[in-house]
Structure 1
Amino acid sequence: MGTEPPVVHATIVFGLRTFGSVPLPVRADLEYDPSDPYAISVGYHAGPGVVRWLFGRDLLADGLIAPAGDGDVRVRPAADDARVVVELNAPDGSAVLEAPADELADFLDRTYDEVPAGDEALWFDFDQELAKLALRD
């Protein structure tokens, strides 16, 4: 489909919820690459490294308005409707983070400017993705 749209980036400071304390700030670099149009990549800066999570753009969009997700990533509005809660669950731990809803919505709006909802299949190269899977053994 013509020229590839640009990658959309945002840096948002999330708050890591801790027991009995105010949330700890965690920088998160969000990225939407139209060559993988269904996914959002988030790199959370944790200590000296970056923990990267990949999850569906629709999951993030749905979670802005209602609880969404059944697996390792769940997203929902917080009690304070200016915030969104992101729960991450992995075999070696879990985290509950919160982020400004307006900043997440702005990032999502910019992704939809590049690849409108429903047009993802026009940008997704199924043959290339299958080839990547075939190389993994």
Structure 2
Amino acid sequence: MNSSSITATAEVGLRLVVPDRTAVPLVARLDYTASDPYAIKVAFHTGEEDPVEWIFARELLTVGIVRPAGEGDVQVWPGTGEDEGDRMINISLSSPFGQAHFDAPVSPLAEFLHKTYEIVPAGQEAEYVDLDSEIEQHLQS
């Protein structure tokens, strides 16, 4: 496999939903790699020098497109945009440092997720995890 076939990257426009204020447009970079097949890394570009990074379960985002998913720190659920026909996805993040609620159009996120499933099909994630290497890394820490 060449490296372009084992990674996927996308930039998605989204909005930070702030109660009683106008939503703030942002860009998030999504990264997926076959070497970490269960996870998607999301870097939110907030205008600060360094983006705010979170790691989500790929399945959480996939399920969240069609029905509410997640408990605790990350929750995802479907929604609609200002125009009734616009399918949106809501993402709520919570940490000891605060909370954030984002919404984004489903289409670019679905395209990105489709690419990830072309790289590692659903149900085959375990075949891409090198358990010996993972155990070795934890023993050395």
Q: Which residue of the partner structure matches residue 35 of structure 1?
A: 35
Q: Which residue of the partner structure matches residue 10 of structure 1?
A: 10
Question: 1:107-127, CA deviations, whole angstroms, 9 ceiling, x for partnerless residues?
Answer: 100100111101111111112
Structure 2 alignment gaps of length 5 or more: none
Q: Which residue of the partner structure matches residue 133 of structure 2?
A: 128
User: Residues of 2 paired with 1:99 and 1:129: CA distance?
Assistant: 34
State the AA in 1 paired with 2:66.
I
- 4+ long deviations beyond 6 Å: none
User: Residues of 1 paired with 2:87 and 2:128: CA distance?
Assistant: 32
Structure 1 alignment gaps of length 5 or more: none
User: Residues of 2 paired with 1:71 and 1:98: CA distance?
Assistant: 18
Q: Which residue of the partner structure matches residue 89 of structure 1?
A: 94
Q: 1:111 aligns with which of 91, 109, 116?
A: 116
Q: CA deviation at 1:21?
A: 2.3
RMSD: 1.5
User: Residues of 2 paired with 1:99 and 1:57: CA distance?
Assistant: 16
Q: Which residue of the partner structure matches residue 68 of structure 2?
A: 67
Q: Could you tell me the percent identity over the aligned residues?
A: 38
Q: Which residue of the partner structure matches residue 19 of structure 1?
A: 19
| Count of residue pairs the alignment pairs up | 135
User: Residues of 2 paired with 1:135 and 1:98: CA distance?
Assistant: 40
User: Residues of 1 paired with 2:60 and 2:10: CA distance?
Assistant: 17
